[in-house]
Structure 1
Amino acid sequence: MQEKQQNISINQVLSIQDSAKYLGISRSSFWRKAKSDGFPSKVIINNKVGYRPEDLEEWHSKQVANREAKRSGVPTYEYLGKAQFILKCHDLARDCVRMNAIRKGTSILEAERLFEWTFDRLKDSYVKVFPQGLDSENFDYEGKPWKDFIEAKEEIIKLVWPEIDTDDLTEEEILAF
């Protein structure tokens, strides 16, 4: 789906056949899904009737997110704990970042790259700051690893939950998030 999206301009309308291809499903599967609640509505742009790719992408991301949430034992991804959500449901967190990029009209690919890079920074710095796990008394609250950990965690929060103003959060609140 990502390759196809890069070749589609904004305000383009996809036919039923192209919409099915975009989602990677058959036309009959597309028709069944089109009848379900929450499926994007048809639009008319430049006298062409069909579906906007960004609407299909957002719908698809929500479907994936909700499917993964159910596998995790919760009814929807919105009820998962925040930091635990990022660590245990990496793909789901990435889907949230994708949906946020769609809402903002920014590059999904760039948002995913930033998320993966920041997630790797978070994991690497976590091991340095908490070498024996979170229950240890041997936290290293100073130095570059601590700063990297707080910065990476703050950036992850911004990417997954852009509605949270991290500028108002203290280091303790970021740590507890």
Structure 2
Amino acid sequence: MAELTPLAMSVLALLNERPMHAYEMYQLLLSRHNNRIVKVRPGSLYHTVERLAGQQYVRAIGTERAGNRPERTTYEITPEGNDALTRRVETGLENFVYEYPVFPVVLSEAHNLEADDAVLRLRRRVDDLDKWLADVDQAIGLARGAGVPERYWMAADYVRGQISAERNWLATTIERIESKELEWLSRRTQ
């Protein structure tokens, strides 16, 4: 059986809460800011639900139409889907898997830019990370303020820690490039 994707895990977790239709799942993922940790688009979500149904991890329990809206099929998680979700969460928590993000690759090739250009672009990234931190802090504050138990939003705190660590590392690296502690050869002199 294929490993559950992050979006499939999110769908199964939502259906573990209660039966719902795909559009409701999409709206709930957005309102909970889960789109910060899972790439979610309406088309990919519908495809994921169909795939999970084909694997018998979810099943349709009804179809309804409200006014001029399209028909919406409501799904529920099956016992097999619950088992698959549980197994995936268990193995995901205990087993480290390197996920090959793009940033380390571009960082390893940053020497192909002039130092001033690299610093400019790194500063822009720091600015973006500062915005992400503000957004995550706001989401955490809203969850705390609403009395949502931390176990439901602790991933946001984890993401905050990652973003903060990257931001601080980049700020230090920028300082090291500017102070010439980190040697940077000009492309013109290489």
When the two structures are superposed, what TM-score results if normalisation uses the length of structure 1?
0.30
RCO (CA 8 Å, sep 6+): is it higher in 1 or 2?
A: 2
When the two structures are superposed, what TM-score results if normalisation uses the length of structure 2?
0.29
Relative to total residues, which structure has the larger strand share, 1 or 2?
Answer: 2
